[in-house]
Structure 1
Amino acid sequence: MFLDNLYKIKNFDVTPETILAAISLDPDHTIFEGHFPNSPVLPGVVQLQIVKELLEKHLGRNVKMKSMRTSKFIQVINPKETPDVYIDIKFKNAEFLEVVASGSWEGVTFFKAQVSYI
């Protein structure tokens, strides 16, 4: 949905239960025209969609959110000021795919989420 459009993957390191991706946001993407004009912000729902897309890329299958235990959006991401970010995903296959994800840049965390997928 957003991969290769809103963002590109610069680095994708995986182990059986982790993903660490460096991504580069396109600050000229049309999503930033309305969110918010002259003060662009990466919407929280889009941050969660990026986590989903990175999971799907690694797993080679589609996933669907079952529930969200927590999500905190701690810092605003302005793509003109911070186009490159890191997404860290830890997951465990149990009854559901249990995920703990966070996003950061230069040691500053901008979101954290705990999500279950089916």
Structure 2
Amino acid sequence: MFADSLYTRSSLKVADSVLIAEIELNPAHPLYAGHFPDAPVLPGVVQLQILKEILEGHFGRKLLLKEMRTCKFLRIINPFETSGLVIEAKMKETDSLEVVASVSHADMVYLKAQVSYTFCSNA
């Protein structure tokens, strides 16, 4: 949905059930013209969608949001001031995918969330 237009993934590493992805935002994306002109902000729902897309790319399967236990948007992401972001997702697979995630840049944390996803069938 947003991969390769709103953002590009520059790296992806997974070790000990922790996924770390580095992405670069595209500040020229048309989304920012409406959100907001002269003061662009990456919408929170889009941050959550990027997290989901990164996870789907890793697993090679579509995910469906099952439950969001917590979600805190701690700072505004202006793509002209902060274009590089690190997405960290601690994952636990059971009958669903349990994720504790954060979005950050350097020592600034922008998002913290605890989310559960179900894997969609490939049929």
Query: For the superposition of Structure 1 and Structure 2, which TM-score range results when normalised by the shorter chain?
Result: over 0.9
Distance (Å, rounded) in 1 between the aligned partners of 2:94 and 2:17: 12
The AA in structure 2 aligned to 1:5 is S
Aligned-pair CA distance for 1:110: 0.4
The AA in structure 2 aligned to 1:108 is M
Alignment match, 1:68 = 68
User: Which stretch of structure 1 is more off in the superposition, 14-23 or 101-110?
Assistant: 14-23
What stretches of structure 2 of length at least 5 have no aligned partner?
119-123
3-state DSSP of counterpart to 1:42: coil
Alignment match, 2:80 = 80
Alignment match, 1:29 = 29
Q: Could you list the runs of 4 or more consecutive aligned residues of structure 1 that deviate by over 3 angstroms after TM superposition?
A: none
3-state DSSP of counterpart to 2:54: helix
Q: Percent identity?
A: 51
Aligned-pair CA distance for 1:94: 1.4
3-state DSSP of counterpart to 1:61: coil
Spell out, residue by residue over 1:27-82, the C-alpha distance to the aligned partner (whole angstroms, 9 max, x if none): 01011011111000000000000110010011110010001000000000000011
Distance (Å, rounded) in 2 between the aligned partners of 1:49 and 1:107: 23
Distance (Å, rounded) in 1 between the aligned partners of 2:22 and 2:96: 26
User: Matched residue pairs, number?
Assistant: 118
RMSD of aligned Cα (Å) = 0.8
The AA in structure 2 aligned to 1:39 is A
Alignment match, 1:94 = 94
The AA in structure 2 aligned to 1:97 is L
The AA in structure 2 aligned to 1:25 is L
Aligned-pair CA distance for 1:16: 5.4
What stretches of structure 1 of length at least 5 have no aligned partner?
none
Kindly report which structure 2 residues correspond to 1:104-115, keeping only aligned pairs within 5 A, or say none: 104-115=104-115
3-state DSSP of counterpart to 1:4: coil
Alignment match, 2:57 = 57
